[in-house]
Chains A and B, each alone.
Chain A
Amino acid sequence: MNNTAKIIIVLTIITIISGGVLAVLDAYTKPRIDAYQNKLKNEAVAQVLPGGVKTDVIEKGDKLIYEATKNGTVVGYAFQVSGGGYQSELVIMVGVTADFSEIIGTKMIAQVETPGLGTKIEDDPSKKDDPGWFMNQFKGVRTVPAISYVKNAKPSKATEIEAITGATISSAAVVDILNNGIKEAKALLNK
């Protein structure tokens, strides 16, 4: 058989079989993977909202906003915000009060920042009693006019948080993502 023809045929067969196997595999594993992602998302939503609330989903295009109500009154909203970090996409679940003026809680969903430096935004092993201190700072932070950060100092304003030494870009990215994401969600709900 002509060598070129053999090359084309063999490679085509290999790749068709590979594609077919992976398509079947995907169909089989997708439900479990999606279920796990949903479980993580629901846990994150519960973590950033106050306890004892009923949550409903509001769909605005492809964005999901979770509305938390207690005894019929809206007490807050939770939604996912994302954007570029230092070297990876940061995905954060944030919960805000009903008027979007204050953050109730935040949870880092995904980040692949520099290990040992940027990753401190999610887990800072040097603070053994509070490794998640960076994200915890955002509890109670006011969002208007905008959240900002300070370096090597304690925050003095209600809108300030302290950036991580050696991970300024990652810290600043979190602040930007929260500012932009909260503004966007607020506009989507016409508040």
Chain B
Amino acid sequence: MSVASEAVPFLLNRDKIEEKAGPGVVLLDIIRRVHHLTGTKEACREGDCGACMVLLGTPEASSRMRYVPVNSCLLPLGAVAGCHLVTIEGINGPELNPIQQMLVAQGGIQCGFCTPGFVIALTAFFLNSINSDAAAAMDAVAGNLCRCTGYAGIKRTIQALCSRFDLSGSPQENRIRDCIDWHLLPRYFASIPEKLASLPRIKPAPGDSDAVRVAGGTDLFVQKPEILCSAPLNFLRPENSAECVRLQDGRCIIDAATTIEQLRTSQALQNLFPAIDEDFRRICCAPIRQRATVGGNLFNASPIADLAVFFLALDARLHIDGPMQERPVRLRDFFKAYKQIDCGPDELLREISLALPEPPFGFSFEKVSKRTYLDIASVNSALLIELSNGVIQKVCLSAGGVAPIPLYLNSTCEFLLGKAVREEVVLEAARVAQSEIAPISDIRGTADYKGLLLRQLIFAHFLKLFPEQLCWEALHETA
């Protein structure tokens, strides 16, 4: 299962490990097969179920540890050097901890196969959440599937735990200590920073130009795990995660390696787009948000990529580093054909940037999928609109799932420019949009459905942004 390679030092629960399995071997296999820690379960190998969830702890400034939930089936060994990896066995104490007790007491456990993943996800919640909001705890376990319980017992567990532990009184700098005092974590967590410091350092290997570039790996390791476990890999690491999203000269700059979670929680982006918190919760679950990056999502070039659609409507610009110079590319020009992008093999995305919209502006992201949460869209769409004296001064409309690439709806935007927001304008815009799309029938829906759905999502954008000006009946009756 491996190629001979340099040992990767990390902490696995209480133990120092120097693992030689190969940088592209996923932790799930190392945990189960090499270390025989069988509480971590294999169920999908595509980050869709959470049965293999573990905590990934990294040292932060002031030698504090930060633990995030990740799916070990998509986590390559090369990404955990110098980290603390925690499986269910590393959470267990001499007795059941309060999370475990509550799952038992509230009927949150049936066949038990998903249970360790839920324990990990809830532990991550209590380690990171600023308050004991049950809805936030639900979000923390949304990426964990259970086929037995109907989730009712798990919801009871969440309610009970949230009323038992008040996180609002536990500042982040004391959180690990508090979790130890609450018996949510075993005592050894207090000494992890020292243990990590004693691990041998490895120098990141210089990027091999032929190597496969790995960002978060959350899609790459679904698509071609067999190749990656023996191919040379180039792990793209963020340079300074604290400032991965920043405002500068009227633009918002976002590092390529920014994770979806960093986007979602970015104060700058939340100020601009208040719905981003909920929108991004819907598109992927907590453990994926921790790993998946904006660069990865754009470079993957899925015609339905949520971030591509989101940033197309913001007219984002890519800043691509080449061997000689930086090259800016508008995102709307970046997607050439199905899964083909404007980026050479010796080029690398450094960051993306977008002009700050001129207030008053409206922004709307819409997505419909078979399952409302954590599913691939049938159609998604985003709209940015700037008005002046009731007239559209600037407009960007994008749509996914209706063409071989994430689509910037150029003709529709041109049509809308300079118009007032009125029902007949919206209706005509929806008609123009139909002329520039070419949806196909597949498992996400028939072409007819996708066309109809895009029309509805365009209506939804406008009705959401202009509830006072637009009357839905007029759209419905003449559509």
Tell me, yes or no, whether A binds B.
no
Q: Which residues of A contact B (CB under 8 A)?
A: none
Q: Which residues of B contact A (CB under 8 A)?
A: none
